[in-house]
Amino acid sequence: MADKKVEAITSMEDFAQWYTDVVVKSDLTGYTSVKGFMVLKPAGYAIWELIQRQLDDRFKATGVENVYLPMLIPEGLLQKEKDHVEGFAPEVAWVTHGGLTELQEKLCVRPTSETLFCDFYQKDITSYRDLPKVYNQWCSVVRWEKETRPFLRSREFLWQEGHTAHATAEEAQERTIQMLNVYADFCEEVLAIPVIKGQKSEKEKFAGAVATYTIEALMHDGKALQSGTSHNFGDGFAKAFGVQYTDKENHLQYVHQTSWGVTTRLIGAIIMVHGDDNGLKLPPRVAPTQVMIVPIQQKKEGVLEKAEELRERLSKVSRVKVDDTDKSPGFKFAECEMRGIPLRVEIGPRDIENNQCVVVRRDTGEKISVNLDDLETTVTELLETIQKDMLEAARAHRDSHTYVAKNWDEFVDTVNNKPGFIKAMWCGETECEENIKAETGATTRCMPFEQENLGETCVCCGKPAKKMVYFGRAY
Amino acid sequence: MADKKVEAITSMEDFAQWYTDVVVKSDLTGYTSVKGFMVLKPAGYAIWELIQRQLDDRFKATGVENVYLPMLIPEGLLQKEKDHVEGFAPEVAWVTHGGLTELQEKLCVRPTSETLFCDFYQKDITSYRDLPKVYNQWCSVVRWEKETRPFLRSREFLWQEGHTAHATAEEAQERTIQMLNVYADFCEEVLAIPVIKGQKSEKEKFAGAVATYTIEALMHDGKALQSGTSHNFGDGFAKAFGVQYTDKENHLQYVHQTSWGVTTRLIGAIIMVHGDDNGLKLPPRVAPTQVMIVPIQQKKEGVLEKAEELRERLSKVSRVKVDDTDKSPGFKFAECEMRGIPLRVEIGPRDIENNQCVVVRRDTGEKISVNLDDLETTVTELLETIQKDMLEAARAHRDSHTYVAKNWDEFVDTVNNKPGFIKAMWCGETECEENIKAETGATTRCMPFEQENLGETCVCCGKPAKKMVYFGRAY
C-alpha cells in the first residue's frame, strides 16, 4: 500500500526473523490458506523467471532438450527401484480418488521424476542411435515436509530436473560433472554466489544414486546451503526399469543415467548471501528491476517528464522503472533498498538545471553524481561492477568464514564459536559422520574436488583419514 | 530411429486416425504408463515454449505480471463458490494422504485456480491502491477426463490462467475483452489460425462466471475447436470469498474479477488446421526448426562443409539445423515434411558448383532455385510469406466451410452434409440449444461480436430470434 511506511525489518542478528521479514516485506511471497505451501508474488516469480531463462540458455548450449512428463506417478512405478521408494515414499502426497470414484491404483504427486523418465525411456529407447537422451523439465514437485520455510523448505517448490540416458558409464559420469559445472558457473556468474563443488558422502547421497555431487554455498549467518545437485545413477535404475538398447554389435545393453536439479531454493540463497539490514540485495543479472528512477519534487514542472525521458533512454541498456507514485522520496529510497534494486537514480529540478543526476548503489550505498550525457554508459558499467563486487564480497565472506579443524577439540570449538565452513579430514565411515552430527549438529557438506591434505587422521575417530571434507551446519 | 522408414500416415479421410498418426510420428508426444496422461517430447514441448514465450510477451505488454500459486486446493476452499464447485468437483483428483498419514482435510489437484486466487486476493488486497491486480500463472492442471486424446483432452494439460481483480465492473469487462483480443491476435499472427470471437451461451459458460467469451477455430475436418476463453466473474467470487477494498471515500467495496486461459490444446489446433496427408505443417513463428538443410551426396568433398556454412549464415535469420545423419535424402525429405518444418534447403555438389541451392516450401511444395548470395534474404522473405499464406489458406478453408441455415431443414441438412460452422438465428433459450444438440450433435459455439441479421425467427423453435449464433460439432 502506498500509504504504509516501510517498516523496519528485524536486524540480521536474529537471522531467522530477519529472513522472514525480508521475504514478506520485499513482496517476494504471499500468504495462502494451503498449509505448508507458498505463493510466489510478482517480485519473487520474476526472479525465478530470470533464473529459468538464463539457466535454460546454458542447458540448451550443452544440448539439453526440454520435455514434460505427467505430474502423477502410479504407486507401482514408484516402487520399482528399492532405494528410491524408501527415500521418497514417506514424504509424498497420495491421490486416491479421481472425480467421484476411488482409484484402483493410487498415484503420488511427483516428488521427483526418475521413475517416470525411466518408464518413458524404457518405451522410447531401442537402439544406440536413440542415445544419448539429454532431457530436462521445468515443473513443480511436492514433498510432504513437516516444517516449512519460504524458498528453503516448502511442500511444493518449483525446479528443473534433468534426466539423461547414455550408452556408457563414462559418458554418464561426464554429463553428471558437466551439469554440476553449469550450476556452479551459473551461481557465480549470475547469482554472484561462490560455491564449493564436491561429492556427497554415502549417507547424504540421493536415494538410488551411485554418486551425488553438490554445490554448497555459505549463507551470511555461516550456515551452509546445498544449492544444486547432480547424480550419477549408473545402470541401477535402468536395471530396475529394463531400459535397454542394442549396441552397434547388436547386443542388448543397459543405459547409464544421470539426473540434476536446482530449485526456487536459489532465491533463498540470494536473500541469505547478499541481504543486509536494509533488506534484499539483488545481483543485477537476476534483478527484475535493475534501475529505479526516483523523481525529486516531482510536482515541479519538467521533473516527471525528465524522469520518463531517462527511463526511455535507460530501457535500452537495463530493466528500468520510474517510481512516480505519491509517496515521499525517502519512502521510495527505503523501498528500493528493501526490494534490493541494484541502482537508484535520483533526479530533481536542481539536477536537471545542472544536467546531472545522482546514482546510488544498493550494494555499497555509494552516491555518484553523473552527467546526464554519460548516463547509459555509467549505468551499464555500474551494473557490471556491482555484479562483480557482489560476487567478490560473497567470496570474501565465505573465505573469512571457512575454518580448518585438525582435531576434535578444534572442531567442536569452531562449530560452537565460529559459524561457517569447517574443513577437516575424515576416515570415510558413516559412523563418524553420524557421531559428528549428533555431537555438534554439523554435517558433511561435501568432499570437495579440490582436496587439501590437512593431516593424516580423521578429525572424529583418529583413524587414518581418506578425504578432506567440508562440514557445516546446514539449512 | 535412424534406420526405420518414415511410415506413411493414414489419409486425412480418416481424420481421427490421421490425427493420432501425426501426433506420434512427428514425435510430439510419447507414451507413459500413467493412464490418460501424456508426455510432451522435445518436438512438442518446443512448440509450447514458443507459444509461451510469444504469448507471455503480449501479456506483459498489457501489464500482466506472473505469479505462482499452490497446486493443491483444500476442499473447503473449492466449495466456497457454489456454481464453481458443482462444475469442477466431479472431475478433480483428490489427495487424501500426505506421507504416511491421512489428511484432516482432503485437497484436490487444481483443475483451475479461481479459488486460490480469491483466497490470495482476499489477504493481499485492502485498498483501492492495491488495484488492479493483473496476475497470470503458467502451470499444469488436472481434470479427471474419461476419454482422452493428445492435446485435445487429457487428464493433465499445460496452460496459463490469468486472474485479475478490479475496482469497477467496467474495468473488469474491459480486461475480459482485452485478453480475448490478445488471444485472437496471437492465434492469427503467430499460429496462422483465424478465429471467431464471441460470447458463450448461458449453458456453455464457465462455472461461476457472469459471462464467458471465446475464440472458436475451424479444424480441417469441419469441426469447431474452442481455442481460448476469457471470463468476466462480476463480483460473485468476491462475495463468496470476501475480497473487498476500501475505495477513495473509505467505503468497503467488492472487487470485480476476470480469468482467461489457453492450453496445450492450441497445439492440437495447429495440427488440425494446417496438417495434410504428409503430416504436420508448422507456421514459421511456432516452428522450433524453421529451416532444415539437407546435404545431397553428403560424402562428397565439401558438401557437409558447405551445409554447415549455410547453417551458420542462416542461423542469424532463422532457427536452422543440418540433417547430416546417414539416412537417405528421400527419407530426410519425408521426415522434414512429417515434422512440419516450413523450409527445406537442399545442397549438393552440383548446386555448390553453380553457387545455388534448392529451397522447398512445406506449405505448398514449391521448389525454388536460389542463388547462394541471396540465401538469407530469400529465406527471411519466404518464412514471412509462408506465415501469411498459411493464415490465408486457413481463412479460405474456414470461410468456404461456413454456412447459413435459415430454417430447421437447412440446419439439419447442413450439419449432416456440410461439415463446418453454421450461422443461424436463435431465440436465446437453453431448451432450443439442448434440442439442437440432441437432434444434430451441433452445439452453440458462440454469439459472435460481429452479428448479422439472417432472419427474424429462431432456427429451431420459430419464436422471435435474439442472436445470430455460430453452431458446429465440436472437439
**Pick among B25, B27, B31, B37 to test the A interface (most A CBs inside 10 A):** B37
Asked if the Cβ–Cβ distance from B119 to A38 is below 8 Å, we say no
Which residues does chain B have within 8 Å of residue A67's beta carbon, measured at their own beta carbons? 39-42, 45
Q: Which residues of A touch B140 (CB under 8 A)?
A: 68, 71, 139
Closest CA to A204 of A195, A216, A213: A213
Interface touch B1/A66, C-beta < 8 Å: no
Quick one: closest CA in B to A141, which residue? B71
Chain B, nearest residue to A3 by Cα? B129
Determine how β-strand A224-234 pairs with β-strand A256-263: antiparallel
Distance CA(A100)–CA(B180), nearest Å, equals 33
Q: Which residues of B touch A71 (CB under 8 A)?
A: 71, 109, 140, 142, 156
Peptide bond into B132 cis (omega under 30): yes
pLDDT of residue A3 exceeding 50? no
Give the SS3 label for residue A437: helix
How close is the nearest chain A Cα to the Cα of B168, in Å?
A: 19
Cα–Cα–Cα angle for B126, B127, B132, rounded to 5 degrees = 100
Percent of chain B topping pLDDT 90: 95
The H-or-E segment that residue A270 falls in is helix A265-274
Q: Of A65, A77, A124, which has the smallest distance from its Cβ to B30's Cβ?
A: A124
**How many other CB atoms sit within 10 Å of the CB of residue B73?**
29
- The grid coordinates listed for A436 are 559428528
pLDDT in tens, A215-265: 999 999 999 999 999 999 999 999 999 999 999 999 999 999 999 999 999
Chain A interface mutation, best of B68, B85, B118, B241, highest count of A Cβ atoms under 10 Å: B68
How many angstroms separate the CA atoms of B30 and B23, rounded? 9
Q: Kindly report, residue by residue over B126-183, the tens digit of the pLDDT.
A: 999 999 999 999 999 999 999 999 999 999 999 999 999 999 999 999 999 999 999 9
Is A40:B66 a contact under the CB 8 Å cutoff? no
Q: B238 CB contacts (<8 Å, ≥6 apart)?
A: B118, B165, B244, B254, B255, B256, B257
Q: Do A34 and B94 touch (CB under 8 A)?
A: no
Under the banding of pLDDT at 50, 70 and 90, the label for residue B6 is: low
Given this model, what pLDDT does residue B8 score?
81
Q: Would you call A471 exposed, middle or buried from its count of C-beta atoms within 10 A (0-12, 13-18, 19+)? A: buried
pLDDT at A152: 96
The percent of residues above 70 in pLDDT, for chain A, comes to 99
The answer to whether the CB atoms of B156 and A77 lie below 8 A apart is no
How many whole angstroms separate alpha carbon B308 and alpha carbon B306?
Answer: 5
d(CA B18, CA B12): 5
In the DSSP assignment, the letter for residue B10 is P
Residue B461: exposed, middle, or buried by beta-carbon count in 10 A (0-12, 13-18, 19+)?
Answer: middle
Mean pLDDT to the nearest integer, B249-258: 98
Task: List CB contacts (< 8 A) between A96 and chain B.
Answer: 94-97
- pLDDT level of residue B1 (50, 70, 90 thresholds): very low
CA distance, residue A131 to nearest chain B CA (Å): 10
Distance CA B435, CA B460 (A): 8
How confident is the model at residue A82, as a pLDDT? 86
Q: Find the CB nearest B66 among A42, A123, A126.
A: A42
B2, B67, B95: residue with CB nearest A40: B67
Percent of chain B at pLDDT exceeding 70 = 99
Q: How confident is the model over A303-327, as a mean pLDDT?
A: 97
DSSP state of A158: E
Please give the grid coordinates belonging to residue A214: 553438490
Question: What residues of A are in contact with residue B68 (Cβ under 8 Å)?
Answer: 39-40, 45, 48, 140, 158
Find which of B24, B29, B45, B95 to mutate to test the A interface (most A CBs within 10 Å of its CB). B95
For A338-376, write each residue's pLDDT tens digit.
999 999 999 999 999 999 999 999 999 999 999 999 999
Task: Please give the average per-residue pLDDT across B317-335, as a whole number.
Answer: 96
CB contact under 8 A, B34 and A99: no
B312-315: long-range contacts at Cβ-Cβ below 8 A with a sequence spacing of 24 or more? B313/B375, B313/B376, B314/B345, B314/B375, B314/B376, B314/B379
| Residues B281 and B397: beta-carbon distance below 8 Å | no
The reply to whether residue A37 touches residue B72, judged by beta carbons under 8 angstroms, is yes
Helices A15-25/A265-274 angle, 10° precision: 110
Tell me whether residues A72 and B120 touch, CB distance under 8 A: no
Interface ipTM:
0.95
Q: From the list B41, B71, B127, which residue is nearest A156 (CB)?
A: B71
Distance CA(B449)–CA(A458), nearest Å, equals 79
Instruction: Dihedral sign for Cα B269, B274, B279, B282, please.
Output: negative
Contacts of A74 in chain B (CB under 8 A): 33-34
Residue in A closest to B128 by C-alpha: A1
Count CB neighbours of A393 within 10 A: 16
pLDDT digits (tens, 9 = 90+) for A289-311: 999 999 999 999 999 999 999 99
Q: Distance of alpha carbon B279 from its chain centroid, rounded?
A: 19
pLDDT tens, residue by residue, B267-314: 999 999 999 999 999 999 999 999 999 999 999 999 999 999 999 999
| Minimal-distance CA residue of chain A relative to B129 | A1
pLDDT in tens, B412-456: 999 999 999 999 999 999 999 999 999 999 999 999 999 999 999
Mean pLDDT (whole number) for B217-232:
98
The single-letter DSSP state of residue B149 is: B
User: What are the chain B neighbours of A31 within 8 Å (beta carbons)?
Assistant: 120, 123-124
pLDDT single digits (tens) B17-54: 999 999 999 999 998 899 999 999 999 999 999 999 99
Give the closest of B37, B94, B100 to A96, CB-based.
Answer: B94
Mean pLDDT (chain B, rounded): 96
Predicted pLDDT at B100: 86
Q: How far is A473 from chain B (nearest CA, A)?
A: 26
When CB atoms are compared, the residue of B30, B33, B119 closest to A33 is B119
Which of B34, B40, B119 is the closest to A72 by Cβ?
B34
- A vs B, Cβ pairs < 8 A, gives 175
How are the residues of chain B apportioned to helix, strand and coil, as percentages rounded to the nearest 5?
Answer: 35, 30, 35
pLDDT in tens, A375-406: 999 999 999 999 999 999 999 999 999 999 99
Q: Which residue of A has its CA nearest to B2?
A: A129
CA distance A68 to A72: 12
Asked if B40 lies within 8 A of A119 by C-beta distance, the reply is no
A41: chain B residues, CB-CB within 8 Å = 67, 124
Per CB-CB distance under 8 Å, the chain A contacts of B32 are 69-70, 116, 119-120, 123
Residue for grid cell 514542472 = A301
Best residue in B1, B51, B67 for a mutation probing chain A (most A CBs within 10 Å): B67
Cis peptide bond upstream of A284, omega within 30: no
Give the Cα separation of B220 and A113 in Å (integer): 37
Q: What is the DSSP string of A1-60?
A: -TTS--PPPPPTTSHHHHHHHHHHHTTSEE--SSTT--EE-HHHHHHHHHHHHHHHHHHH
Residue B178 to chain A, least CA–CA distance (Å):
21
For residue B85, the model assigns a pLDDT of 87
Show residues of chain A in contact with B150, CB under 8 Å: none
Bridge-partner residues for B294, per DSSP? B346
A-interface mutation test, from B32, B50, B115, B135, most A Cβ less than 10 A away: B32
Nearest to A92 among B33, B34, B99 (CB): B99
Q: Report the residue from B67, B96, B107 with minimal CB separation from A42.
A: B67
